[in-house]
Structure 1
Amino acid sequence: MVDTLLRPRNFIDGTRPAPRVPAPVIDRRRPDLRTYGPVETDRRRGRGATANPDGRYEPVQRERIDDGWDIDEEIDDLRTEVTIEKPRTIITKNDSPDIGFDRSINPYRGCEHGCVYCFARPSHAYQGLSPGLDFETKLFAKPNAPELLRKELSAPGYEPRMIAMGTNTDPYQPIERHYRITRQVLEVLEEAGHPVGIVTKSALVTRDIDILSRMAERGLAKVALSVTTLDPRLARRMEPRAATPTKRLSAIRQLTEAGIPVSVLVAPLIPAINDHEIESILRAAYASGAREAGYVLLRLPHELKGIVRDWLAENYPDRMKHVLSLVEETRGGKLYDSAFGQRQTGVGPYAWMIGRRFEAAAGRLGFNTERTRLRTDLFRRPAKETGQLALF
């Protein structure tokens, strides 16, 4: 294998592109992942992406090619690495007009679930890492999140509104079992009487039913489960380390029985892959207890276009061109359009048909007759920890 530098994005003298330079031969026992091109199937078993392309901020892109010196040696599999991150703030603000919250908390960067379609993958480029396999193997945890949250909620000018969790990466991904950051954040929110909305595709959320049920009883919590497909084989290909569809439906049932408002998200809808399941997913979710529902059409920002294209080429080569053609049809002739009001649902006849099918099925079943509104009047600013003893 030879790692070759391709398509330089910087210039040596300001006028000419950098020359094409071959890099040293890679040790096959521990091949460099930071190259564009398929990674060995055995090595990435249980992962979603098929490659590890360089991020968009890197000065060069590299591609691995076969130089004929392939040696049959044992190859290590990809292991999850977690780096401790210590941010200065934990509440992220946004002013996007087409989403229903203005603040969120993400206890982790990257996500071990490995969902190939995840729109958050390109955010890993900010860390100098790949949105491909790096996104699901090189993770960042923020164990000081509860401490930061308490500090920010204590600020004199803070005004409570629902905090969303799971908006970028899943707060209940597998490493949460060890770090328990999400649970600690919920403990702070419960103490402060602060509303929270959670989005996840993990059955691990049921671990925190004790906290969530108490908060829900006070009108402070709701949960949305993302159910992409009912086909376990498709789920295994698309989202290899997320909970199975059966476990997600079971989680909906358990949360509902505990008195926690639950909604289902059919997200993302991928044309010609899982869009035929709209009605069946909604029926199964309603039978499990969900009473609100929403959907999101496949989004392909930045590097995600190539990642999904490679995944389609490996898993559905006969459908790849058709799927991408339908995506372009819903995005004004492009693979992605980030315009507010359109990025979630798309445009054009195909997107319109998806929307009408969803509305009709949800209406027949009785979804969305009422919307859960969380309370903010119970908020009590946490006491600051000054280290001083009380006078009385």
Structure 2
Amino acid sequence: MPELVINISNVVSPLCYSLIRLEPYTTCIYGCVYCYARWYRRESDIVRPRVNAVKEFSIYARKIYRRDLLPIPARLSTLIDPFIPHEELFKTSLSLLRIALDYEYPIIINTKSILLLRDPWRRVIERLADRGLVSIQISVSTLDQRISSSLEPYASTPSERLSMAREFSSIGIPIAVRLSPYIPRISIYPSIEELANIFKDHGVRHVVVEVLRLESSSIESFLRGLGLDIDVESYSLRIVEGLTPISRISLGSRIDEYIALSKTLARYGIGFATCKEGLYSIHTAYDCCGMYLLKRSIAYRATLMEIYRIAREWNGIPLEKIGDAMDILLKQGYLVGEKLRLYPKRVSKPLKNHEKKLLRVLKSRDMVIHIAPSLDIVDGRIIARDIDDTIKTVSRPR
């Protein structure tokens, strides 16, 4: 597994801000039945600390600090929960947090665990928070305890995770909830209004949804097991020999709930975004990951979100003017083009390749509308679509 920067792909490269990742362990023991990390991991089922991740992050964070560069927030982590029980023995995540503290590097913690509430982890997190260097993103698939226990058998309960959210938010640490995987009707339990009220009561400031995706051969039976008869669609852009085709819940089966959830959360003062879905017209937050909650100046890379904003402002971007749009983003402070050369090569080279992939995606209408339905290419122009226009292009659920 490469260190520090997430692998280049047609989906991640054009959509994701937080490409810096810290993976402390080789695998996870929570046994979530929907886990998609298994498609990316190549190690055995034995949990081992990734000592090279600690070494690489220490070198990189020190260089960013000494060069006085704006840091790109790092995710702890993306494929493995960083606070599985093994953390009590190995303390690899604790080492990464201490490096972030030493070099004032911003961290987005993504977890289902409540180990963070205990020292020494809590003490370090509070020190990071005092410097505006941390936000906590709590992953929840549903607040229905019965279903949660079957989907996430070895993780802490949803109520325990929310209690942790309340405790940390009460001392000023920004809290986001990741509804992941998002499953219609299941993830909005007990109702959208009650869910928003619960989140508000527990100090949640941002919600990001990431729809369920599973192997195409098993997703429909998985949903039927939950009592759901809903449409699915291909997540994979194309069939590749040797790779398992992946499907997700169809846009038509989730869009109405997304719209209602976005509007309801807005009334409670909570930001909303989608993860790797490109539905920008219903986002109410500056970025999807909740990086805006950090209280430090940070570096943003350009994504399709920025292209969407420029397309709205310009009433469309001619394909031959994409370079001009990127130049504008460079002047606005985004980490694009030549500005990447300022950063250590261990991240600047892969980030440059991510940018190249983003630009390649923008040349294909099929890829653009599949990856980001809020965009389209019409008559040689990239256009931003309102949600009503997006809905017209998808089928409604059965």
The reply to whether TM is greater than 0.5 is: yes
Q: Does 1:145 find its partner at 2:66? A: no
Q: 2:104 aligns with which of 193, 198, 207?
A: 193
Query: 1-side partners of 2:199 and 2:184: how far apart?
Result: 21
Alpha-carbon spacing, 1:286–1:275, altered in 2? closer, same or farther (3 Å): closer
Counterpart of 2:61 in structure 1: which amino acid? Answer: L
CA contact (8 A) 2:112 2:161 kept: yes
Q: 2:257 aligns with which of 329, 333, 354?
A: 354
State the 1:112 CA deviation. Answer: 0.8
Residue 206 (structure 1) aligns with: 117
CA contact (8 A) 1:252 1:262 kept: yes
Counterpart of 1:247 in structure 2: which amino acid? Answer: E
Query: 2-side partners of 1:115 and 1:245: how far apart?
Result: 14
Counterpart of 2:15 in structure 1: which amino acid? Answer: D
The CA RMSD measured in Å over matched residues stands at: 3.2
Q: 2:90 aligns with which of 164, 179, 191?
A: 179
| Aligned pairs for 1:61-100 within 5 A | 90-93=3-6, 96-100=13-17
**Which of 1 and 2 has greater Rg?**
1
Counterpart of 1:214 in structure 2: which amino acid? Answer: R
> Which ranges of structure 2 fall in alignment gaps of 5 or more residues?
239-245, 272-283, 286-291, 300-342, 344-398
Counterpart of 1:243 in structure 2: which amino acid? Answer: S
Flag the structure with higher helix content: 2
Secondary structure, aligned partner of 2:47: strand
Query: 2-side partners of 1:140 and 1:305: how far apart?
Result: 31
State the 1:107 CA deviation. Answer: 0.6
Q: 1:227 aligns with which of 140, 144, 154?
A: 140
Secondary structure, aligned partner of 1:108: coil
Residue 394 (structure 2) aligns with: none
The TM-score, its normalising length taken from structure 2, stands at: 0.59
> Which ranges of structure 1 fall in alignment gaps of 5 or more residues?
1-86, 130-136, 382-392
State the 1:196 CA deviation. Answer: 0.8
CA contact (8 A) 1:116 1:311 kept: no
CA contact (8 A) 1:162 1:197 kept: yes
Counterpart of 1:184 in structure 2: which amino acid? Answer: S
Q: Alpha-carbon deviations, 1:336-382, whole Å to 9, x = none?
A: 3459xxx999764323212102102211222128741442589xx9x
Question: How many residue pairs were aligned?
Answer: 265
Query: 1-side partners of 2:135 and 2:156: how far apart?
Result: 19
CA contact (8 A) 1:228 1:269 kept: yes
Counterpart of 1:209 in structure 2: which amino acid? Answer: R
Query: 2-side partners of 1:347 and 1:307: how far apart?
Result: 15
State the 1:153 CA deviation. Answer: 2.7
| Aligned pairs for 1:1-392 within 5 A | 90-93=3-6, 96-124=13-41, 126-127=42-43, 137-155=45-63, 159=69, 160-207=71-118, 208-271=121-184, 273-277=186-190, 279=192, 280-300=194-214, 304-306=215-217, 315-316=225-226, 319=227, 322=229, 325-326=230-231, 328=232, 331=233, 334=234, 336-337=235-236, 348-368=251-271, 371-376=292-297
Query: 1-side partners of 2:191 and 2:110: how far apart?
Result: 19
CA contact (8 A) 2:175 2:203 kept: yes
Alpha-carbon spacing, 1:263–1:345, altered in 2? closer, same or farther (3 Å): farther
Query: 2-side partners of 1:282 and 1:338: how far apart?
Result: 34
Alpha-carbon spacing, 1:203–1:148, altered in 2? closer, same or farther (3 Å): same
Query: 1-side partners of 2:108 and 2:298: how far apart?
Result: 16
CA contact (8 A) 1:226 1:266 kept: yes
Query: 1-side partners of 2:262 and 2:218: how far apart?
Result: 30
Alpha-carbon spacing, 1:112–1:307, altered in 2? closer, same or farther (3 Å): farther
Q: Alpha-carbon deviations, 1:41-100, whole Å to 9, x = none?
A: xxxxxxxxxxxxxxxxxxxxxxxxxxxxxxxxxxxxxxxxxxxxxx8x741245622222
State the 1:276 CA deviation. Answer: 4.5
The TM-score, its normalising length taken from structure 1, stands at: 0.60
Query: 1-side partners of 2:145 and 2:107: how far apart?
Result: 30
State the 1:253 CA deviation. Answer: 1.0
